[in-house]
Amino acid sequence: MVYIDDKHAKTLVSHKYKICAKPDFIYQDKRGEILVERKMAKRKPILADIVQVKASIICARTKYKKVTRAVISTGSGNYHYIFNQSTNELFEDILMYHKICQAIYRGIERNDTWKTISNSIK
| Residue 67 and residue 35 in contact, taking contact as beta carbons nearer than 8 Å | yes
Report the 10 Å Cβ neighbour count for 9.
13
pLDDT attached to residue 102: 85
pLDDT attached to residue 114: 56
Cβ neighbourhood burial of 36 (10 Å; 0-12, 13-18, 19+) = buried
How does pLDDT run across 56-110, given as a tens digit for each residue? 999 999 999 999 999 999 999 999 999 999 999 999 999 999 998 888 877 765 5
- Assess whether pLDDT exceeds 60 at residue 113: no
How does pLDDT run across 4-54, given as a tens digit for each residue? 999 999 999 999 999 999 999 999 999 999 999 999 999 999 999 999 999
Cβ neighbourhood burial of 102 (10 Å; 0-12, 13-18, 19+) = middle
Instruction: Give pTM, 2 decimals.
Output: 0.85
